[in-house]
Structure formats: C-alpha cells, structure tokens
Amino acid sequence: MAATVRAKTPAKRPSRRAQDPAPIPTAGGAVAFEPPRLTTSTAPAERVPLFYINDREYSVTLKPGVNVGLKYLHLSRQVGEAQAMDYLLEKLLGAEGYQALMDYDDLTQEQFQGICEIASKLTVGALELPKE
C-alpha cells in the first residue's frame, strides 16, 4: 500500500482589518450581541438607462437593494430562472417600463439576453460580500 503525501496548505489567518467585536458569553452559555437596527432610506436611488425604445429611455436603479437580489436568487432556485427574471425586470423597470419591453415587437433574442445580463449583474452584484 502506497503512502499518500499531502501538501501542506497554509492556514488562513483572520484579517487584521475591522474585525467584529468578540462575542460576549452570558450566563447559560448564550452569546450576547447587538442586533442591527434597520431603517428605511428616503433618499432617491441613482438610475441608469437599461435600454431605449425609439429614443425613449427606460432606466433602472444603479444599485438595487440587497433584498431584490435575495428574492431574485430565491425565485431562481424555487421556480426557475425565467420566472425570476420576470420578477427582476418588472421590479427594476417598474410596471410601465416592463410593459413597454413586452410590447416592443422588434425585440431580438440578443437584445433581450443583453438586457437580462445587465439587470442580473446589477442585482447580484449587490449581494457580494465585502472582501477582507
């Protein structure tokens, strides 16, 4: 029987930048922490054009909320990519913008694919975790 030689890989060290405070043990072994307090922003979101139909601009939020990305991923897993994209396009464009896209008779497969890719990248990009 031949011996298997494993190469040693260096252990990852935790980042020394902005580490979370150490959890504080409490009586009974539970860990105390300060839950985040979430508030709703009233600032208008920056918008960018996603496509034009006959020189009319249809725009989307440049940085969709993380919740939109989470729902998109959830729908992709639960009901499939097509239904998730349906949700995403309507959410980003609004009902009027999405209706205009659906009513545009000259939309090609390549154009639609490009619109979907941009919408997906804008949304899933909001889910990226910070790099340490």
pLDDT digits (tens, 9 = 90+) for 18-36: 555 566 666 666 778 888 8
Residues 119, 125, 127, 132, Cα dihedral to 10°: 180
Other beta carbons less than 10 A from residue 29's beta carbon: 6
Please tell me the least confidently modeled range out of 2-11, 85-94, 108-117.
2-11
**110: CB partners within 8 A, 6+ apart:** none
Mean pLDDT of 62-69: 91
The residue among 47, 60, 72 whose CA lies nearest residue 124 is 72
Q: Please check whether residue 104 is in contact with residue 89, taking contact to mean a CB–CB distance below 8 angstroms.
A: no
pLDDT top residue among 17 and 120: 120
Q: Summarize pLDDT for 69-102 with one digit per residue, the tens.
A: 999 999 999 999 999 999 999 999 999 999 999 9
User: CA 84, CA 71: separation in Å to the nearest integer?
Assistant: 8
- Give the model's pLDDT for residue 32: 81
